[in-house]
A and B are shown apart, each in its own frame.
Chain A
Amino acid sequence: MRKMPKKPAAPPPAPEPAEKPKNLQNINIPDITLPVSLAEKQTLLKPHIERSHDIVNRPFTIGAQQPVEAYAIYINGVIDTDAFNASILRPLMIYGEDPQSAGDQGPELPEYIARTLLTVGLFREIDRLADLVRDIYDGMLIIMLEGSSQVLSIDIHKAHLRAIEEPVSERGLRGSKEGFIESLDVNISMVRRRLRDPKLVVKKTVMGQRTRTQVALLYIEDIADPNIVKEVETRLNNVQIDAVVASGYIEQLVQDHPWTVFYQHRVTEKPDKAVMQILEGRVLILVDGTPSSISAPSLFVEFFQAPGDYYERTWIASFIRVLRYIAFFLAVSTSAMYIAVVNFQPELIPQELLVPIARFRNQVPFAVVLEVLVLEIMMQLVIEAGHHLPGNVGQTVGVVGGIIMGQAAITARFASPAAVIVASFSAMCTFVLPSPGMALISRVLRLPMILAAASFGAVGFALMWLILITHMTSLTSVGVPYMSPLSPTRYRDLKDSIIRYFLTSMKDRPVSIPSQDKVRQAKQGVTGNQ
Chain B
Amino acid sequence: MTSKQIGFMILGTLVGINFLTIPRTASEWAQQDAWIAVLIGALLPLVVLVLIERLGRQFPEMDFIQMSQFLFGKIAGSVLVILLCFHMIIGVAREIARFAYVESTFLLPATPIWAISLLILLVSLYVAGQGAQVVARINELLFYLYLPAFFLIVYPLMTVADYTYLLPVGGSGIGSIARSAFDVSLYFGRMEFLMVAYFMVTRKDEVLKAGAVALVAVAVPYMLFTAVCVMVFGAEDLQDQITPILAMFKSVAYPILERMDLLFMVAWSVAFRPAFNLLCMSGYSLTRLLNLQKRKHYLMILTVSGTAAYLLSSIPRNIVDVIIYSNWQGFTHPIVGLGYPLLYHLAARIRGGQKQNV
A487 part of interface (Cβ distance < 8 Å)? yes
Instruction: Count B interface residues, CB 8 Å.
Output: 29
Residues of A within 8 A of B266 (CB): 345, 458-459, 461-462
Shortest beta-carbon distance from A125 to chain B in Å: 53
A348 part of interface (Cβ distance < 8 Å)? yes
Complex Cα–Cα for A461 and B267 (A): 10
Shortest beta-carbon distance from B60 to chain A in Å: 23
A384-439 interface (Cβ within 8 A of B): none
- The residue in B131, B259, B266, B267 that gathers the most chain A C-beta atoms within 10 A of its C-beta is B266
B104-141 interface (Cβ within 8 A of A): 107-108, 111, 116, 119-120, 123, 126-127, 130-131, 134, 137-138, 140-141
Residues of B within 8 A of A487 (CB): 137-138, 140-141
B1-52 interface (Cβ within 8 A of A): 2, 4-5
Complex Cα–Cα for A460 and B108 (A): 10
Residues of A within 8 A of B258 (CB): 347-348, 350
User: With A344-B108, A348-B262 given, is the CB distance from A463 to B137 under 8 Å?
Assistant: no
Instruction: Count A interface residues, CB 8 Å.
Output: 26
Which stretch of A129-137, A363-371, A464-472 is in the interface?
A464-472
Of A347, A348, A456, A486, which is within 8 A of B141 by CB? A486
User: With A456-B119, A459-B269, A466-B270 given, is the CB distance from A488 to B140 under 8 Å?
Assistant: yes
Complex Cα–Cα for A473 and B135 (A): 9
Mask for A368-382, Cβ within 8 A of B = 1, else 0? 000000000000000
Complex Cα–Cα for A463 and B269 (A): 8
Contact A469 B138 (CB under 8 A): yes
Contact B130 A459 (CB under 8 A): no
B144 part of interface (Cβ distance < 8 Å)? yes
Q: Which partner residue on chain A sits nearest B145 by CB separation?
A: A469
Residues of B within 8 A of A348 (CB): 258-259, 262-263
Contact A458 B140 (CB under 8 A): no
B53 part of interface (Cβ distance < 8 Å)? no
Q: Main secondary structure on chain B at its contact with chain A?
A: helix
Complex Cα–Cα for A465 and B138 (A): 12
Complex Cα–Cα for A46 and B266 (A): 74
Contact A488 B127 (CB under 8 A): no
Complex Cα–Cα for A457 and B106 (A): 12
Contact B134 A347 (CB under 8 A): no
Residues of B within 8 A of A459 (CB): 103, 107-108, 116, 119, 266, 269
Complex Cα–Cα for A483 and B262 (A): 29
Shortest beta-carbon distance from A3 to chain B in Å: 51
Complex Cα–Cα for A463 and B275 (A): 14
Residues of B within 8 A of A76 (CB): none
Contact B262 A467 (CB under 8 A): no
Complex Cα–Cα for A466 and B134 (A): 12
Contact A458 B130 (CB under 8 A): no
Of B108, B120, B130, B137, which is within 8 A of A481 by CB? B137
Residues of B within 8 A of A457 (CB): 107-108
Q: Which partner residue on chain B sits nearest A351 by CB separation?
A: B258
Shortest beta-carbon distance from B131 to chain A in Å: 8
Mask for B319-333, Cβ within 8 A of A = 1, else 0? 000000000000000
Complex Cα–Cα for A456 and B108 (A): 7
Complex Cα–Cα for A462 and B149 (A): 15
Contact B107 A458 (CB under 8 A): yes
Contact A462 B267 (CB under 8 A): yes
Complex Cα–Cα for A71 and B119 (A): 75
Residues of B within 8 A of A488 (CB): 2, 4-5, 137, 140
Shortest beta-carbon distance from B138 to chain A in Å: 6
Complex Cα–Cα for A347 and B258 (A): 8
User: With A348-B262, A458-B266, A459-B266 given, is the CB distance from A467 to B126 under 8 Å?
Assistant: yes
Mask for B241-266, Cβ within 8 A of A = 1, else 0? 00000000000000000110011001
Complex Cα–Cα for A185 and B357 (A): 76
Q: Which partner residue on chain B sits nearest A463 by CB separation?
A: B123
Complex Cα–Cα for A465 and B145 (A): 12
Contact A467 B123 (CB under 8 A): yes
Contact A462 B269 (CB under 8 A): yes
- The residue in A457, A460, A473, A487 that gathers the most chain B C-beta atoms within 10 A of its C-beta is A487
Contact A344 B107 (CB under 8 A): yes
Of A345, A350, A473, which is within 8 A of B130 by CB? A473
A287-308 interface (Cβ within 8 A of B): none
User: With A465-B270, A487-B140, A489-B140 given, is the CB distance from A470 to B126 under 8 Å?
Assistant: yes
Shortest beta-carbon distance from B250 to chain A in Å: 11
- The residue in B137, B140, B262, B269 that gathers the most chain A C-beta atoms within 10 A of its C-beta is B137
Complex Cα–Cα for A470 and B135 (A): 8
Complex Cα–Cα for A345 and B137 (A): 31
Starting from the known contacts A347-B258, A463-B123, A470-B138, 15 additional A-B residue pairs (CB-CB under 8 Å) come to: A347-B262, A348-B263, A457-B107, A459-B116, A459-B269, A460-B119, A462-B266, A463-B119, A467-B123, A467-B127, A470-B127, A470-B134, A474-B131, A483-B141, A489-B4
Interface residues of A (CB under 8 A from B): 344-345, 347-348, 350, 456-463, 465-467, 469-470, 473-474, 481, 483, 486-489
Q: Which 9 A-B pairs have the closest CB atoms?
A: A487-B141, A458-B266, A466-B270, A487-B137, A474-B130, A474-B134, A473-B137, A459-B269, A462-B269
A-B contact pairs, 28 of them (CB 8 A): A345-B259, A345-B262, A347-B258, A348-B259, A348-B262, A348-B263, A458-B262, A458-B269, A459-B107, A460-B119, A462-B266, A462-B267, A462-B269, A462-B270, A463-B123, A463-B270, A469-B138, A470-B127, A470-B138, A474-B130, A474-B131, A483-B137, A483-B141, A486-B144, A487-B138, A488-B2, A488-B5, A488-B137
